[in-house]
Amino acid sequence: MPYPKFSGIDFSKHDVIEFNPDQPDVGKGFRCGRGEFVSYIKGEKIRNELRSSTSKCWLLSCRDGLAAYVTLLADKLTMGTPILIDEDVRYTTFPAVKVGWLAADPRAKGSGSRLMEWAMEYVVLELVPRLGIRFLTVDALYDADLPGQPYDASGFYYKLGFRFTNPDEENPPSDGFRTMYFDLMPLIQQINQVTQP
């Protein structure tokens, strides 16, 4: 009898690999509660974005196939107030990396948060030493047009430490998402403590 897909796999430390757009069959068998995330990983749009260097995509795959994916791209966080005034930084816009598309197969428990934790570490270890980056951003999907409960991805990001850029924004949002941000500084300091003599 075949075992259920992804059963018994601990994703908490699983490797993440970069998506090569010429690799065949990526996304085959992938499931997600939101169909647009399945079409996206299987379709040409993501492949064109990768080839045109407008996005980078990272995969959490295992023997059973694709468990989750995330895209990352350069962004600018715009806030209503100078949130780093305590650090004597008076800007209201800040360099950031955006979490573009993120999706996890619901059978691969924990794969979504593993990818997000990987992305935070990747940005701090690989990008922050080379480029000014202080925040992660995401446009958290909010779909009010569903029967019953609206679909709201912000709770997932909130648990990870993201906060709303505009907490007073109308809800449901008119454009179908709410922008959130995550301050990388605690992780930057933590990693510096471990790596610096």
Ligand X SMILES: CC(C)(COP(=O)(O)OP(=O)(O)OC[C@H]1O[C@@H](n2cnc3c(N)ncnc32)[C@H](O)[C@@H]1OP(=O)(O)O)[C@@H](O)C(=O)NCCC(=O)NCCS
With b for 16 or more beta-carbon neighbours within 10 A and e for fewer, the 103-117 pattern comes to bbbeebbbbbbbbbb
Phi, psi angles (nearest 5°) of residue 2: -65, 145
Rounded Cα distance, 76 and 45, in Å: 23
Using CB under 6 A, pick the residue from 17, 23, 29, 33 that binds ligand X: 33
Residue nearest to ligand X (CB): 112
Binding to ligand X, residues 107-136 (CB under 6 A): 109-113
Q: Report the nearest approach of ligand X to the CB of residue 90 (Å).
A: 30
Q: Does 140 bind ligand X (CB under 6 A)?
A: yes
Query: Quick check: 74 and 54 in contact, CB under 8 A?
Result: no
All residues at 6 or more sequence positions from 128 whose CB lies less than 8 Å from its CB, including other chains: 184, 188
Candidates 33-41, 56-64, 73-81, 90-98 — which segment interacts with ligand X by CB under 6 A? 33-41
* Per-residue binding letters, 65-104, with ligand X (x by CB under 6 A): -------------------------------------xxx
Residue nearer to ligand X on the CB measure, 27 or 112:
112
Rounded Cα distance, 102 and 183, in Å: 19
Binding residues (CB under 6 A) for ligand X: these are 32-34, 37, 102-104, 109-113, 138, 140-141, 152-153, 155-156, 159
